[in-house]
Amino acid sequence: MTTYNKRGCGRTSTPRRALLAGAIMAASAGISSPVHAEEQSWLLKDWEISGYLRQYVGMNLENPTLIGPGPAIFDGTQEDDYKYDLSMLRSVGKLNLFRDFGDGTRFKFSGRISREVNTEYMRDMQRVADEWARTGPENEAFRDLKRDVYNDEQVRAAWLQMDLTDSTNLKLGRQQVVWGETDFFQLMDVVHGYDFRWRSFLEPENEELRKPLNIVNLRQRIADGDLQAIYIPGKLNDKEDFGNSYDVEGGRWANQPNRGVQFQSAPFGAGVRYNYEHPEADVEDGAYGLRWSSTLGNWGYSLAWFHGPNPNPVANPNPALNNTAPQLSTGAYEGIYEGPAGRAGEFIFPTIDVFGVTANNYFPALDVVFSTELAYIPEAPYNFGVESNGAAPPGEACGFFPGFCGIKEKNLFRSMFRIDKQLDLTDLIGTSRPSFASIQIFNNWITDYEGNDQLVNTAGFGGKTEEFSSILTAVLSANYANDTVNPSLAAVSDLTYGGGVIIPAVELVQGDHIRIRLEGNFFFHETDQDRPLEGFNDTNLFGYFSGNDQLMARLTYQF
C-alpha cells in the first residue's frame, strides 16, 4: 500500500561518515576482487547486496513567498517570481548489505548519501538567509542550506540480530522500530522522529524520512503472542536524531512565509534554537517502551506504552521577552529557559508517555479490512498565547510570537479508523487487476480543554487549537499494463481548520531496475500568513504550505 506521511536524520557525525565510507569501499573492493569459491571464508560469502541510485527534480507551480529583511519585510516586497523555477535537484545513493549467518543470526548495514545542486531558487533562499543573518546577533548559528541541511551521509541501519533461545530474539544497533496501524500521522508510530526538511511529508516510502536510532530491541514469544521491549540509550545517539525535524532553516519547506528566515540566527531577539538538554526535555535520558501483540479470535491487536521525547518540538519562551510573566509555562516547566538572554526562546522535546491500542480484522461479507489505532497522552505539551506582544497592548498578550506565552500540559486522546478495500474497476477504467482504496480518519480530543486556554497548533502562528479536530485521508491506487503503469490519487482534507492537499501520481516500471515516479502536489487552505515575523493571523496546518504547489519527477535505478 502506498501511503504518505506527515510533516531520516540530520548531518552525520564524523565517525559515522567514516563508517559509511569504509563500508561502501569494502563492498566495492569485494565486488571488484573476485575470490575463488574454494577460497571463500564463511565471513565473506553469501552477502546480499542491494540499493538504488535516485534522481529527484522538483518544479514550483506557484510563486513562494521570499521576503528579505529591512524595509521589505514591512512592505511585503517579493524578491522575485519563482513560478516554474526548479525547487529541487537531488541525487541519492543507497547501499544495503545483508547476511544471514544461520541459527537466527543476521546482520544488516545500510548507508545513504544525498547531494543537491544549488538551483537559482535555492541560491536566492540562501542569499536572503545571509541578509537575515547579518542583521542577527549570532552569526555562528547560521546554516548553509546545501551543506548543512540537504547534503548528508547517513548510516540508515547497522544491526545484529540473534536468537538467544527458541522464543527469544535480540536485535542490537541502528534500526527502525515501527508500531501502530498507520504511518500517515504519528499516533503510536512515536519511537522515531522524522526529517521533514528536504521534502516534508510527501515521500511515499516513510522509511526514507524516519530517523533511525541505536536501539536494544528484545522480543519474547509467549504462546500466541509477542512481547517486545525496547531501550534507546540517549548518549549512544546523536541528539538531532530524536524528534521531528522541521524546516526552521528557511529552506524550500519552511512554513509560509518563512523561506529564507533562519530562526537559529534570526534578528530582533526573534531567534529560536534547539535545546536537547532542557531539564524536562533531555534526550540524553533515553527512551523505552513495551509492546504486546497477539490475536483474539479473528482480530489482531496490540497494546503498547512508550516513554520518550515528544515527536514535535514546542517553544520554551524566554521570560525576559514576555509582557505578562505570571502567564508563563504551567506544569513541570515553570518557565525554565536556558538559552542566550537576547533570544525569544528555544525549541525543546518534552518527555511524554504514550499509551496505545491497535486492532485490525478482515470482514469477508464486505470484503474490507478494518483497522483502528487509539493513543492516550497524559500531559501532552502545547504552546499557548494566540496574540503576540507586538500585536496587542501590554497585559493582553505575551511572547514575541503567538504561542510564546509558554507551555501548557493537556490530556490528549488520539484515534484513527481506516477501511481498506480492493475495488474491481477493470470494466469502468480498464485496469489490469482490482484497484486498492483506503480511507482513514484521524481525530484529536483534548479531554481537559478549556475555552480560555489559547492553545495554538504551531508556535509562531496564531491558529487556535480546538477541543476536537479531525483530518480525512483517502488513497486510490490502480494498475495497468501488467503493473508497469501504476497511477494513484491521494487526498487529505482538514475537517476542522480547513484546507488540504491533492496528490496525483503515476509510477512507471521498466524491467527489474528502473522506476519512474511523476507526481503533483496541490495545496489549498483557508488562511495563510504573508509576512515573516509579523502580521500574525489564524493560520493552521495547510496554511503553512501556501505557495508550495509543485511537480516532482523521480528516477530510480534499483539493484
Contact 505, 517 (CB under 8 A): yes
In a domain, 419, yes or no: yes
Q: What is the pLDDT of residues 136-176, one digit of tens each?
A: 555 556 788 999 999 999 999 999 999 999 999 999 999 99
Closest by CA to 520, choosing from 23, 60, 8, is: 60
Cβ contact 281:407 at 8 Å: no
For residues 78 and 67, is the Cβ–Cβ distance under 8 A? yes
Q: What integer best gives the mean pLDDT of the chain?
A: 86
What's the pLDDT at 388? 59
216 located within any domain: yes
Of all residues in the chain, the percent with pLDDT exceeding 70 is 83
Within a domain: residue 73? yes
CA distance 246 to 199: 10
Which residue from 300, 297, 344, 298 is spatially nearest to 319, judged by alpha carbons?
Answer: 344
Is 470 inside a domain boundary? yes
User: Does 3 fall in a domain?
Assistant: no
Counted domains in the chain: 1
In a domain, 532, yes or no: yes
- Give mean pLDDT, residues 529-543: 86
40, pLDDT greater than 60: no
| Sheet strands (E) in 257-350 | 272-274, 277-278, 281-282, 287-296, 299-309, 314-317, 345-348
Residue 194 lies in a domain: yes
Q: What is the CATH number of the domain that holds 144?
A: 2.40.160.10
- Asked if the model's pLDDT at residue 404 lies above 80, the reply is yes
Q: pLDDT-based confidence at 531, cuts 50/70/90?
A: confident
Residue 40 falls inside a structural domain: no
CA–CA distance, 533 with 67 (Å, rounded to integer): 11
When pLDDT is averaged across residues 356-372 and rounded to a whole number, the result is: 96
Question: Which grid cell sits at 290?
Answer: 513495551
Domain that holds residue 279: 14-29+46-558
Phi then psi dihedrals of residue 129, to 5 deg: -60, -40
**Comparing 306 with 78, which gets the higher pLDDT?**
306
* This prediction's pTM: 0.87
- Which pLDDT tens digit goes with each residue over 309-318? 999 999 888 8
